[in-house]
Amino acid sequence: MAMSGGNAIRGTRVGAGPMGESERGETAPRVRVAYFCATGHETRPSFAADAEIPETWDCPRCGLPAGRDHTSPPAAPRNEPYKTHLAYVKERRSDADGAAILDEALSRLRASREL
């Protein structure tokens, strides 16, 4: 006769009994709000009935901002392309400024070599 060894309450853990309102107390009244993103996804998070409902919510599927109006969801944020250090310098200085700075640096370098 084969007997299964081990614990008789396998698959349970301490305190894993049924938890309900008697142990946790009354749940707050909830309201579900629909949000729509630009790609057509719909998400319905729930909020406490007395909480302030945000105008936008991040879509959990694509990460775009979602709004409550399904006919005109918020536009996707515009991402600026990566700029190199040279691109930032060119925004601050004209070509003439760059040529003047280069001439000044070259003349200092030549002067230091003549010493």
Domain count for the chain: 2
Q: What is the DSSP string of the chain?
A: -----S-TTTT--TT-S---HHHH-PPPPEEE--EEETTS-EE--EEETTSPPPSEEE-TTT--EEES-TTSPPPPPPPPPP--HHHHHHHHS-HHHHHHHHHHHHHHHHHHHH-
Residue at 42 is within a domain: yes
Indicate which CATH number applies to the domain containing 48.
Answer: 2.20.28.270
Binding residues: 37, 41, 59, 62
Confidence bin at 5 (pLDDT 50/70/90): low
Are 37 and 58 contained in the same domain? yes
- 45 located within any domain: yes
Q: Give me the pLDDT at residue 8, please.
A: 57
Binding-site residue positions for Zn(2+) = 37, 41, 59, 62
Residue 7 lies in a domain: no
For residue range 8-44, list pLDDT tens digits in order.
556 666 665 665 556 667 788 999 999 999 999 999 9
For residue 4, pLDDT over 80 is answered with: no
Q: Is 2 part of any domain? A: no
Task: Output the six-digit token pair for 60.
Answer: 């959990």
Are 87 and 107 in a shared domain? yes
Could you tell me if residue 40 is inside a domain?
A: yes
> Residue range 70-76: average pLDDT?
90
Q: Can you say how many angstroms the Cα of residue 46 is from the centroid of all Cα atoms in its chain?
A: 20
1 pLDDT above the threshold of 60: no
Using the predicted structure, report yes or no on whether residue 74 has a pLDDT greater than 60: yes
Range of the domain at 51: 30-67
- Taking the chain, what is the end-to-end CA distance rounded to the nearest angstrom? 104
Same domain for 61 and 83, yes or no, is: no
CB of 37 within 8 A of CB of 65? yes
**Is residue 36 within 8 Å of residue 58, measured between CB atoms?**
no
Q: Is 72 contained in some domain?
A: no
pTM of the model: 0.51
56 pLDDT exceeds 60? yes
